[in-house]
Structure 1
Amino acid sequence: MTVFFTADTHFGDHRTINIHKRPFATVADMDALLIERWNATVGPDDIVWHLGDVARRAADIPALLDRLHGTKHLLRGNNDPDATLSATGWASTGDYAEIDLDGHRLVLCHYPFRSWNGQHKRAINLHGHSHGRLKPMPRQFDVGVDVHAFAPVRLDALLGPNRT
């Protein structure tokens, strides 16, 4: 079992193609590639933390989650209404989480923080929302699909050889 992180998939949302200059001619093309890369990366027994902004229409989420590998946890983004959180297929939902993984304390939220719990004790903030447009800070990583080739990402890939 491997743990992955992602955010800002915006399935079914044509606005995201234009606003964030995603390289897709259609929403169908974008969604197909997002599903393909998710399932090529994540296995059925893996865990995925989705840090918000899942899809344009909450009604589409149960069928979408059925197509995506892994056990999926959601932390709400600004484009996730209550119906997204109550959709069947999530193992858990919330707005914020702190977890321990591979000897690291992770602070998870859709939004990037200027400071976060445990920051000075080497805790790491994983977030979405910014679509790769924020200046990097030490121990803070955007896990959104726009930054990671439209696929979920592992913690070790974020930390790289420095293992901060």
Structure 2
Amino acid sequence: MNYFISDTHFYHYQLLEPNDFAPRHFKDGDAMNQAMIDAWNARVDDNDTVYHLGDISMRPQNTPTDAETFAMLDQLKGHMILIKGNLDYWSLFKYLAKHNKMMADGVPRFRFEDVGALLKFDHMQFYCTHYPMLLGRVQQILNLHGHIHHYSVPVAENINICVDAPGKRLLE
């Protein structure tokens, strides 16, 4: 099974404060992180693939180390295709690649995309990107994206899969 998620912002404790950006209602950052881990692992198994469309982790003014983010991702089930978001750094992707491991099926745990991934299923195309794309008049093409957190682009072909997207519960 394929799953899609964006903007987990692990460690981003400032999202716990009242804000208009992406308020998350948890008692602390550890509770927020654990809720996302629990919800992810309740849905995903090691045979699944999760497309993470960017902004994996963030700790304002004290960015989590690459090792800390690796330790967080290592708790999650499934293969991960990681698409770079505006808060993700190449140093993280290089660290993850260096510490990547083979899963039981012989496929590496992490794979990486710089801008996005194009997927084709059942006569449909899915552009998986961090930022929303305005594709113009299209048929059979959807843009799965994150980045904008608390609102959606008013275009039917753009689907905001951010954990904070309107009408969604954290990792439904």
Task: State the 1:97 CA deviation.
Answer: 1.4
Task: State the 1:122 CA deviation.
Answer: 2.1
Bigger mean CA deviation after superposition, 85-94 or 140-149? 85-94
Q: Which residue of 2 aligns with 1:156?
A: none
Matches within 5 A, 1:72-151: 72-88=80-96, 89=100, 90-115=110-135, 120-147=138-165, 148-151=168-171
Contact residue 132 and residue 142 of structure 1 kept, 8 A: no
Question: Structure 1's 87 and 151: CA in aligned 2 closer, same or farther, altered over 3 A?
Answer: farther
Residue identity opposite 1:6 in structure 2? I
Task: State the 1:91 CA deviation.
Answer: 2.2
Over aligned residues, Cα RMSD in angstroms? Answer: 1.7
User: Secondary structure at 1:73's aligned position in 2?
Assistant: strand
Note the alpha carbon deviations across 1:58-99, whole angstroms, 9 max, x for none: 331221221101000111111101122223242223221111
**TM-score of the superposition, structure 2-length normalised?**
0.79
Residue identity opposite 1:108 in structure 2? C
Report the structure, 1 or 2, having the larger helix content: 1
**TM-score of the superposition, structure 1-length normalised?**
0.83
Q: Which runs of 5+ in 1 are unaligned?
A: 153-164
Count of residues paired in the alignment: 149
Note the alpha carbon deviations across 1:6-53, whole angstroms, 9 max, x for none: 000000111222341111120001000000000011111100000000
User: Secondary structure at 2:40's aligned position in 1?
Assistant: helix
User: Secondary structure at 1:35's aligned position in 2?
Assistant: helix
Contact residue 61 and residue 87 of structure 1 kept, 8 A: no
